[in-house]
Homo-oligomer: A and B are copies of this chain.
Amino acid sequence: MAILKEINPVKTYLGKLSHNTDLLEELTGFCISHNITLGRIDAVGAVQKARLAYYDQENKTYRFFTINRHLEITSLTGNITIKDGKPIVHVHITLADKKGNAFGGHLAEGTIVFACEVCIQVFQGETFKRGFDRTTGLPLWEMGE
């Protein structure tokens, strides 16, 4: 089943992140300071190193790993909703190295910005709150199902 709710775009932001900052922390910080509790995010740019996670579906736990190289961000997509009463940025990222080989995963803290151009669409409407989902072990949206 697809449980999608109608929401309304109310605002759009475009801009950049400072060099040498933590990619996920900057995105989260911006959403908190601008009171963004529902939205969609995408970005391109480059990182000095990446820290990603892969969700181990069998053991229901994230496996974190670091790619200690300079990489292009070829895509970054995700959303902003609420967890434990605060905005949470959930984004996945695809990266490429100097040979063009691509890598990716769930963006974790520890990914350092070289340059990054970000677009955030802010929505209004249904509240999307993350709560523990027993089937997957993930903090998924509680949508009254």
Could you tell me which A residues sit within 8 Å of B by CB distance? 1-9, 11-19, 21, 26-27, 29-30, 38, 40, 42-44, 46, 48, 52, 54-58, 63, 65, 67, 70, 72-79, 90-106, 114-115, 117-120, 123, 126, 128, 133, 135-136, 138, 140-141, 143, 145
User: A13's closest neighbor in chain B, by CB?
Assistant: B4
Kindly state the separation between the CA atoms of A19 and B140 in the bound complex, as whole angstroms.
Answer: 11
Whether the pair B140, A115 counts as a contact (CB closer than 8 A) is yes
The verdict on A105 contacting B96 (CB below 8 Å), with A4-B15, A13-B4, A115-B138 known, is yes
Kindly state the separation between the CA atoms of A119 and B29 in the bound complex, as whole angstroms.
Answer: 23
Q: So how many copies of this chain end up in the complex?
A: 3
Shortest Cβ distance from A135 into chain B, in angstroms?
A: 5
The verdict on A14 contacting B78 (CB below 8 Å), with A94-B96, A106-B72, A136-B19 known, is no
Among all A-B residue pairs, the 10 with the closest Cβ atoms: A4-B15, A74-B104, A96-B104, A102-B102, A4-B13, A2-B30, A44-B92, A100-B103, A1-B18, A75-B75
Kindly state the separation between the CA atoms of A86 and B118 in the bound complex, as whole angstroms.
Answer: 21
Question: Which of B5, B9, B19, B74 contacts A15 (CB under 8 A)?
Answer: B5
CB pairs A–B below 8 angstroms (25 shown): A1-B17, A1-B21, A2-B26, A2-B118, A4-B16, A5-B13, A12-B123, A14-B38, A14-B128, A15-B143, A40-B119, A42-B42, A46-B57, A52-B100, A54-B96, A56-B98, A57-B70, A57-B114, A58-B70, A72-B105, A72-B106, A94-B94, A100-B104, A102-B102, A115-B136
